Structure formats: structure tokens, C-alpha cells
Amino acid sequence: MRSLAERSLDRDEILGWLREESPERLDELFAAADSVRKARVGDEVHLRGLVEVSNYCRRQCAYCGIRAGNSAVARYRMTAEEVLACAREAQDLGYGTVVLQAGEDPGIEAGWMAEVVRRIKAETGLAVTLSLGERDEDELRSWREAGADRYLLRFETSDRALFERIHSPAPGQVRSDRIAQLRSLRQIGYEIGSGVMVGIPGQSLGSLANDLLLFRELDLDMIGVGPFIAHPATPLGSNPLPLPPGAQVPSTEAMVYKVIALVRLVRPDANIPSTTALATVNRTNGRELGLSRGANIVMPNVTPVRYREKYEIYPGKACVNETAKACAVSLEGRISAMGRRVGAGPGGRYS
Ligand code: 5AD
């Protein structure tokens, strides 16, 4: 039988690993993921500077702290000059990519964003990743034409019934179809990224196995997974309704490592971040453990500190008070201590 690192996993095997509890067996899984990571994407860890452009959002996602219904959030939207300053800072820190993320904010107009993208490309040459929620196809096209390279949109779960339970449309809003949007982003010419939360109340092990198969089917370039973290000001934070134990995916650090390793095995060439949510549930070495079990990307925050605490999608987010510079220095140290190195250039799937 071919080794775990060489074989294409089927659904039953994926499920077996998700249920696996033996530390020795899990070490085999992690070692296989680490060796595939090394063989396919190398020892470089690419850093993407994350800019949280706006925390306005028209959606009502039941897990998310910046959902439209959370009136306790003080809303902000950065100016174009502020976004540009963050991009320059990312460039000064040696990052190859800037990620512009926001709530699904209609106040971010298509023409405004296209101009921001054009200026970042002209002034810094950085790769630009957008993560702005579900937007109209003509807007997505105009941003691609302006030079945006990649688009991130997590589908959160492939279980349609669960998806609808946690994403009830606001009055007058169309139902979401993030999987259809990912397919059209690919057609438009973006590198595409997606991912899921691990341990959403109501998420079954079977549906998580399906999520992994869908990562493969969608041919994703980037795949981010992190633990669900309950936010008290959201419906899922106050009234979670999980499945019975045994069926429910736990939102634990241990489960996230299994999923990261499995993602590497099902999508060997993908860029996989060791996420901030993971670093939040294990501040000591969550990032490092993610990087040693399949991940090859970190997304340090370059948002001005005064805005960061307002972008509270879940509570206790790691790095909220660190300046971009301090964060960069500490990351480089951690990465070289692992025998890895910070990657130069955009670090895309094709570059
Ligand atoms: N816990 C963990 N991750 C969350 N996200 C949003 N809310 C939470 C939460 N409460 C994740 C979603 C979203 C990404 C930007 O952050 O997966 O796509």
C-alpha cells in the first residue's frame, strides 16, 4: 500500500482520521502532511499583510461579531490614503502580498476599490488579495481588471442546510451561494481561496469530510481553516444548539490540526495559512504547530491598531495590540527557530 503522503484519500479515510484519537497515529498524519508540504511548497513561509479595511457589513452571519445586527460595534471604513499607507508598510516589512479584507460593505464602492487596487499595484507592486464578501460579478471583474490577483471567500460549510441556518438573509437580500461565486471568480481569472470553520455548532464529522472533498473539487489555490470561536454578541455565541457528542465536530485546537494536515494531503500544492483563530486558541505556539502540520502561510495584521479592536469577528483575537513592526519581528524569529524561512515575492500558486 502506498504511503499516506503519496495516496489520494477517500471519504472513509478522511472520516477515520477525523475520528482518530491515538497520539501515535496522529503523529503519522502530521508527519505525512509536513513532508508533503516540504516536497510541494518548500520551506518558505509567505507572509501576507492583512488590512481590515472596513467593519461595516450587510450580512447577518450567526457566528460573526461584526454582523449587521450587532449594534455594539463602532463602525469604521478606512480612507484610500490609509489603505495605501498599510500597503506601503507591508512592503517595508518585506511582505509580498497585501490582503484587503472587510465586512460585506456596500459603502465600499466598486470604482473606489478599483482605484485603490490600481494605486497599490502601481506604487508597491505587491500581489493584491481581496476578501470583501459576495459581490456582483461586474464588480469582481472590474477589480480583477484593476490588477487584483486573488480572492478569498470561505464557504464555511458544504452542508447546505447548516449553511442556511447560520446565514439567514436579511430582508430583501438574495440567498448566498458562495460555491457558485468561487467558480465564477476562477472564471474571471483570480487565484481563489476558501475555507471553513472547524466546530460550527451543528457541523457533523461527515459534513467536514465533505468540505475536504469539496476543497479538492474546487481546485482551490488557498485554503484557510480555523476553530469556531463563540462570540457572545451573536446567535451562535449565546444559543449554540450543537449536535449530540460524537456527531458534533469539536471546535478544539486538536481538531484544527487534523484538518490542516488533511487539507495538505487533499490539496498538496495549495497555500495554507496557519490562521489567527488558531493562534487565538493557542497563543503560545498555535501558529508554529499549524506550520509544522501542513501550513505554509501566515497573515500578519497590518491594520492600524486603533481600528483593530473594532474588527472583532470573534473575541480575544491574537495580535490585536501589537504594531505591524513588532508582529513582523516576532514572526521572523519564530519562523527561523523552526528551521524555516520567510519567503520572498508574492508566493502565489503560479509565482
Ligand atoms: N470564530 C471563528 N472564525 C470566525 N470567522 C468569522 N466569525 C468567526 C468566529 N466566531 C471567520 C469566518 C470568515 C473569516 C473571515 O473569519 O470563517 O470567513
Is the pLDDT reported for residue 25 higher than 80? yes
- The pLDDT score that the predictor gives to residue 246 is 85
Q: Atom 18, ligand 1: which residue's CA is nearest?
A: 154
pLDDT on residue 351? 58
For residue 172, how far is its CA from the centre of ligand 1 (angstroms)? Answer: 24
% of the chain beyond a pLDDT of 70: 99
The answer to whether residue 225 sits within a structural domain is yes
User: 183 CB less than 6 Å from ligand 1?
Assistant: no
Among protein residues, the one with the nearest Cα to ligand 1's atom 3 is: 228
pLDDT tens, position by position, 41-54: 999 999 999 999 99
| pLDDT tops 70 at residue 95 | yes
The answer on pLDDT for 289 being more than 90 is yes
Q: Is 70 in the pocket of ligand 1 (CB under 6 A)?
A: no
- Asked if the structure places residue 29 within a domain, the reply is no
Residue 202 has pLDDT above 90, yes or no: yes
Q: What local confidence, expressed as pLDDT, does residue 124 receive? A: 96
- Per-residue pLDDT of 234-245, as tens digits, reads 999 988 888 888
Residue 199 inside a domain? The answer is: yes
Model confidence at 170: pLDDT above 80: no
Does ligand 1 come within 6 angstroms of the Cβ of 228?
Answer: yes
The total domain count for the chain is 1
Residue 64 Cα to ligand 1 midpoint, Å, equals 6
**Rounded to whole angstroms, how far apart are CA atoms 93 and 95?**
6
pLDDT confidence of residue 164: 93
Binding site membership of 64 for ligand 1 (Cβ less than 6 Å): yes
Angle subtended at Cα 144 by Cα 273 and Cα 267, rounded to the nearest 5 degrees: 30
Mean pLDDT of 305-322: 91
Question: Quick check: CB of 127 below 6 Å from ligand 1?
Answer: no
- Calculate the average pLDDT of the chain: 94
CA distance 326 to 319: 10
Q: For residue 321, what pLDDT band results from cuts at 50, 70 and 90? A: confident
Assigned domain for 14 exists: no
Per residue in 237-279, pLDDT (tens digit) is 988 888 888 889 999 999 999 999 999 999 999 999 999 999 9
What number of CA atoms fall less than 13 Å from residue 172's CA on the CB side? 1
> Any idea which residue has 497563543 for its cell?
283
Rounded to the nearest angstrom, the distance between the alpha carbon of 208 and the centre of ligand 1 is 16
Q: Is the Cβ atom of 281 under 6 angstroms away from ligand 1?
A: no
260, part of any domain: no
pLDDT band at residue 174, thresholds of 50, 70 and 90? confident
Burial-class residue 345 by CB neighbours within 10 Å (0-12, 13-18, 19+). Answer: exposed
Q: Is the CB of 313 under 6 A from ligand 1?
A: yes
For residue 311 and ligand 1, the question of a CB distance below 6 A is answered with no
Residue 329 has pLDDT above 70, yes or no: yes
pLDDT recorded at residue 148? 98
**CATH code of the domain covering residue 49:** 3.20.20.70
Q: What is the rounded average pLDDT of the residues 89-107?
A: 96
Decide the pairing of beta strands 150-152 and 297-298. Answer: unpaired
* Confidence band of 107 (pLDDT split at 50, 70, 90): very high
**What percent of the chain clears pLDDT 90, i.e. is strictly above it?**
85
Interval 3-12: pLDDT, tens: 898 888 999 9
Q: What is the mean pLDDT of residues 82-94?
A: 96
Distance 86 CA to ligand 1 centre (A): 22
- Helix axis angle for 137-145 and 178-188, nearest 10°, is 30
**197 touches ligand 1 (CB under 6 Å):** yes
Say if 155 falls within a structural domain: yes
Nearest CA to ligand 1 atom 6: 64
- Pocket perturbation via mutation, ligand 1, pick of 311, 313, 317 by most ligand atoms within 8 A of CB: 313
User: Is 221 part of a structural domain of the chain?
Assistant: yes
Kindly give the distance from the C-alpha atom of residue 278 to the centroid of ligand 1, in angstroms, as a whole number.
11
Q: Is the CB of residue 260 less than 8 Å from the CB of residue 294?
A: yes
pTM of the entire structure?
Answer: 0.96
Report the pLDDT value the prediction gives residue 325, as an integer from 0 to 100: 87
Tell whether ligand 1 has an atom less than 6 A from the beta carbon of residue 226: yes
Residue 156 CA: nearest ligand 1 atom is 17
Within-domain flag for 57: yes
The CB density around residue 90, as the number of other CB atoms within 10 Å, is 26
**Predicted pLDDT at 1:** 62
Domain interval for residue 62: 44-250+303-340
Which atom, in ligand 1's list, is nearest to the CA of 314? 10
Say yes or no to pLDDT of 350 above 70. Answer: no
Binning pLDDT at 50, 70 and 90, where does residue 175 land? confident
Distance (Å, whole) CA 173 – CA 150: 26
Between the CA of 173 and the centroid of ligand 1 the distance, in Å, is 21
89, three cell numbers = 508598510
Give the whole-angstrom CA distance, residue 134 versus residue 181.
7
Task: State yes or no: pLDDT of 326 exceeds 90.
Answer: no
Which triple of cell numbers denotes residue 243? 449536535
Q: Please give the Cα distance from 280 to 287 (Å, whole number).
A: 9
